[in-house]
Copies of this chain bind each other. A is one copy, B any other.
């Protein structure tokens, strides 16, 4: 009989390079799988870790939020130290806190901030190759900014949703409609850029599809007018390619 009486909330950073994404899988190393495995060893309970969302294989996070219910009497410090000592350095538990029993990392998430990072110089520095997408071409930033302004607001993002299971538990009713509070492009340096998207939720591969299409705009292969038409068409076949996962990072989950 389960009588979990504590709810533990964690912030987790990870380098997704060598993981098959967040969600537990039978035969692959995943972030959820690795952390659950350590929690089971520490608590001797069958722990279910609930993340605020699922990141794909190769996607990184600076602050994924997750919670789990437990009967363990371990302190938050013991849990954090124990996990960080058992886990690979590719996964770090940033904080652990005890929270209300009804807190749910996924159901209560009000929004998320994602970054997608590009390097536009001629030769990509080796040490950033797993964290920045290399686009060795000049980009038309004005056209990209026009498209980012189009993205902001509430839209049906079907054109930027990959096929695959949509999470029916909380998103039913609103279909592919999402609200993007902010879509920006900032320059780290003259040749390094970061797309920043804040929204109430994101469809499967939505940011990577947006970025892949925005790069087409930046290269002059699509106009901002065509970009707007693609968004309105609600047809995935019109948008650009899915940008690879390694430029993407979950920066924050809002509650």
> Which A positions have Cβ atoms within 8 angstroms of B?
13-15, 60, 62, 84, 89-94, 123-127, 129-131
Select which of B13, B123, B127 is within 8 A of A126 by beta carbon.
B13
Closest to A123 in B: B92
Q: Which residues of B contact A14 (CB under 8 A)?
A: 126
Would you give 25 A-B contacts (Cβ < 8 Å), ordered by A? A13-B123, A13-B125, A13-B126, A14-B126, A15-B126, A15-B127, A15-B129, A60-B126, A60-B127, A62-B125, A84-B123, A89-B124, A89-B126, A89-B129, A90-B126, A90-B129, A91-B126, A92-B123, A92-B124, A92-B125, A92-B126, A93-B123, A94-B123, A127-B130, A127-B131
Main secondary structure of the interface of A (DSSP, over half): mixed
CA–CA, A130 and B129, complex, Å: 13
Closest CB of chain B to A53's CB: distance in Å? 18
Residues on B with beta carbons closer than 8 Å to the beta carbon of A89: 124, 126, 129
What B residues does A60 contact at CB under 8 A?
Answer: 126-127
Q: Give A17 Cβ to nearest chain B Cβ, in Å.
A: 9
How far does the alpha carbon of A130 sit from the alpha carbon of B62 in the complex, in Å? 16
Q: List the B residue with the shortest CB-CB distance to A93.
A: B123
Provide the residues of chain B in CB contact with A131, threshold 8 Å. Answer: 127
Give chain B residues whose Cβ lies under 8 Å from the Cβ of A91.
126
Other than A92-B123, A94-B123, A127-B131, give 6 A-B pairs with Cβ distance below 8 A: A15-B127, A60-B126, A60-B127, A91-B126, A92-B126, A93-B123
Task: Write the chain B residue with the least CB distance to A129.
Answer: B89
List the B residue with the shortest CB-CB distance to A62.
B125
> In the bound complex, what is the Cα–Cα distance between A90 and B130 (angstroms)?
10
CA separation between A43 and B94, bound complex, in Å? 51
Residues of B within 8 A of A15 (CB): 126-127, 129
A96 to chain B, nearest CB (A): 11
Residues of chain B within 8 A (CB-CB) of A62 are 125
- Residues from chain B with Cβ under 8 Å of A125 in the complex: 13, 62, 92
From A125, A129, A130, residue with most partner B Cβ within 10 Å: A125
Which residue of chain B lies nearest to A17 when distances are taken between CB atoms in the complex? B127
Q: How far is the CB of A187 from chain B (nearest CB, A)?
A: 19
A252 to chain B, nearest CB (A): 14
Q: For A92, list chain B residues within 8 Å (CB).
A: 123-126
